[in-house]
Amino acid sequence: MDSEALRKFSALHPRPAGLTLHYGTAGFRSAAQQLDHVVFRMGLLAALRSKAVTATIGIMVTASHNPEDDNGVKLVDPLGEMLHPSWEEYATQLANAEEQELQKVITEICQKAAVNLHKDASVFIGRDTRPSSKKLSQSVIDGIQVLGGQYHDYGLVTTPQLHYMVCCQNTQGQYGKATLEGYYEKLSKAFMELIKQSHCSGELQRHLKIDCANGVGALKLSEMKPYFPQEVLIHIYNDGTKEKLNHLCGADFVKVHQKPPGGLDMKPNERCCSFDGDADRIVYYYQDTAGHFHLIDGDKIATLISIFLKELLAKVKQNFKMAVVQTAYANGNSTRYLQETLKVPVHCVKTGVKHLHHKAQEFDVGVYFEANGHGTVLFSKAAETKIRQLVKEEKDNEKREAAKMLENMIDLINQTVGDAVSDMLVIEAILALKGLSVQQWDALYTDLPNRLLKVQVADRRVIDTTDAERRALTPPGLQEKIDALVKKYKLSRAFVRPSGTEDVVRIYAEADTQENADALAHEVSLAVFHLAGGKGAPPQP
């Protein structure tokens, strides 16, 4: 390690005094002007991780659905998955080290993780469209180069595209070509093959309005447009030319506020969807003829995909194990529909993509979506191999056709991470193949009315949970109080969990009516305020 270079470059990316940041599920997120030292040091860490696993590592500069003045950085592991948890700790240590301690911390990481500094390092870099992203990705490059690493800067890409490139590179092209053209070609080919198998005489031209949150998704969708068949007409809104990133638009805004984004004029019964700022989440919605807004969130997306996959799996007659993975935020009626009507096993895990992804890997076909619209489908190696074999060798026409559809689904889905572009194409293909309108999809089940609230507390760590965050262990008396409140309302449930990023406690409640869901959420928020050290004035109804 070149101590002189490390000292010189570290001085160019000084750490602001007293600033402590933690690497969480979303990597580091903060106000952009506080991040220069962090991204430089994550360049160092990416080079170390690459040397440790002798593979290419990804590093993405984005703060997803946060306001435009924020930014963030996260690392991508060799198969396009999220950074290994043990390295999240190293990331936090490195980001918070005093300048004069930097070399010592790097040496400690090398010892703990058995990193050979003489090995080569290779890092792929991507960034979103925030004004601060270009400069920050330059700081990442400084970090990589200090440790003698090679890098490829993809510039502006969606987060899922970077995950995809990393996976392609490390599977020696088995997963696909590690270029944007490779990504567009693979997805559009699988999509067109699927649509070709559609025998229904539904609408020939499929119009879809897409709110791109004034983010990178707009640029990448425009690049991809020439690859789409003429039957698919996508109309891009909030493309970043006029307004600020994520301002009054995007998947997070639509999900939280339960209303359409600004900048998109909706006519009755038109199919619309929203991406988030870095295009790894998607939600659909429409307005009915009476002017009511209908949100189709991650739970309903998972349900549509599950119906389709279950039918195909039944036709190929293999003993594949399929399951849906949800978090406690999944609407109770979606869980009921999946388990009771579709007869698909459902598993609940802690909030956070890494928990869902990990659980989904236990099945031949694992569907996972968070209610916020982040999700994908994972196919086991064995299932994928068998499906591809059936396409080549199966004599029975119906079985072979079903296997062919499954093969195209495998190629269309970005299995590395939730991907708004890929998920959108999956949904559009299924709706076309099944001849479903957006209203028919929405009518599969009716969401239970629900309410999300948050309460500011002095220290979020006073709340500890169990049973996939559905029950509170501490503070004493809180869960008993919640249980008593839940008993007052029909079809109700409620849970509380500490935020992963700030000193707030998040509250979720659902019940038979919106009035009851709101009342239950408010009563639970008061219990949290009084028992868990609320700050400021008590919550108002």
Residues serving a catalytic function are: 64
Is 451 assigned to a binding site?
no
Is 372 assigned to a binding site?
yes
Is 506 assigned to a binding site?
yes
Q: Could you count the other beta carbons within 10 Å of the beta carbon of residue 394?
A: 16
Is 70 assigned to a binding site?
no
Is 371 assigned to a binding site?
yes
Is 498 assigned to a binding site?
yes
Q: Which of 406, 378, 379 is nearest to 390 (CA)?
A: 406
Long-range contact set of residues 184-188: C-beta below 8 Å, sequence gap at least 24: 184/223, 184/224, 184/227, 185/227, 186/411, 187/224, 187/227, 187/411, 187/412, 187/414, 187/421, 187/422, 187/425, 188/224, 188/227, 188/228
- Cα 73 to chain centroid distance, Å, stands at 15
**How far apart (Å, rounded) are the C-alpha atoms in residues 171 and 380?**
15
Look-up: residue for tokens 């429409």? 286
Is 380 assigned to a binding site?
no
Q: Could you count the other beta carbons within 10 Å of the beta carbon of residue 303?
A: 25
Is 278 assigned to a binding site?
yes
Tokens found for residue 522: 């408010």
Is 499 assigned to a binding site?
yes
Apex 236 CA angle, 235 and 238, nearest 5:
145
Q: Could you count the other beta carbons within 10 Å of the beta carbon of residue 445?
A: 17
Is 276 assigned to a binding site?
yes
Cβ-based neighbours of 50, under 8 Å, separated by 6 or more: 56, 57, 120, 121, 122, 123, 149
With contact defined as beta carbons under 8 Å apart, do 523 and 485 qualify?
yes
> What residues form the annotated binding site?
64, 276, 278, 280, 370-372, 497-501, 506
> What residues form the annotated binding site for substrate?
370-372, 497-501, 506
> What residues form the annotated binding site for Mg(2+)?
64, 276, 278, 280
